[in-house]
Every structure is written in structure tokens, then in C-alpha cells.
Structure 1
Amino acid sequence: MKTLTINLPDNLDLEEFEAKMLFAGQLYEKGKVSLGQAADIVGISKRSFIEIMGRFGFSVFNYSVEDLKREIANA
């Protein structure tokens, strides 16, 4: 796994866990990492990540409208 160091302004009130959740959630929503990989970035279980995602405004379902239409048509 790669290591990333980010310098944040001192006046930014952001805990490490929150920063990891925001980063991992964005990567997951953009399809860059799987759900399990996003959970690993944060250092929690996949189940915990799923349960916490909503608090950060992320959805477990990262399907585009086109993907959803295709799934419905194939059902």
C-alpha cells in the first residue's frame, strides 16, 4: 500500500479519521477503489465503512443512471 502525506492548515478542524473517510469515500464514489479498499484506507471493517458512509454524504451504491437503467432492463 502507498503512503500519502498531506500538509493541512493549522486552523482546519479535521480529525485524522474524518480526513480518511472523506478521502476514501471520494475514491470509492469515483470508482477508483473497491469498498474493501476504501475501508482499508480508513483502517476499519467493510461493514463499519458501509455503516458510516452515510454520515459523510456518501452512498454505497455507486452506479450511474445508465448503469441502473441497464440493470433494470436486464432484470
Structure 2
Amino acid sequence: MKTITLNMPDSLDLDNKEIAMLVATRLYEQGKLSIGQAAEIVGFTKRTFTELLGSYNVSVFNYPASDLAQDVSNA
């Protein structure tokens, strides 16, 4: 796993865990990380990470609408 260093303004009132959560949720939302990978970045279980996604306005169901339409037609 890569380690990165970010220089953040002191006026930004976020701790390291919050910044990691913002990055992980965004990468999960973009489909670049699985829910397990995103949870690992933050140091949470998959369940805890999943429960927190809503507070970041990120859906647990990270599928394009076209996939849902295809699933419905297959059913």
C-alpha cells in the first residue's frame, strides 16, 4: 500500500482519519476501490465503513443505472 503526505492548511479543521475517510469514500464512489479496500484505508471494518457512507452522501449501491436496467430485464 502506498503512503502519501499531504500539506493541509491549519485552518482546515480535519484530522487524519477524516481526510482518509473523504479520500476513501470518493475513490469508492468513483469505482476505483472496493468497499473492503476503502474500509482498509481508513482502518474500519467493512460494516463500519458501509454504515458511514450515508453521512458522506455516498450510496452503498455503487452501480450504474444501466446495470440496474439490465438486471431488471434479465429478471
Same fold (TM over 0.5): yes
1:23 aligns with 23
In 2, distance between residues paired with 1:43 and 1:36?
Answer: 10
Identity, % of aligned positions: 55
Q: Partner of 1:6 in structure 2?
A: 6
What residue in structure 2 maps to residue 39 of structure 1? 39
CA–CA distance in structure 1, aligned partners of residues 47 and 4 of structure 2: 24
**Aligned pairs, number:** 75
* 5+ long unaligned stretches in structure 2: none
Higher relative contact order (CA 8 A, sep 6+): 1
Using the size of structure 2 for normalisation, the TM-score is 0.93
Q: In 2, Cα distance between the equivalents of 1:50 and 1:56?
A: 11
Mapped to 2, the partners of 1:11 and 1:40 lie a distance apart of 28
TM-score, scaled to structure 1: 0.93
Over aligned residues, Cα RMSD in angstroms?
Answer: 0.9
Give ranges in structure 1 of 5+ residues lacking alignment: none
Greater than 6 Å deviation, 4+ residue runs: none
Task: Look up the equivalent residue of 2:73 and give its one-letter code.
Answer: A
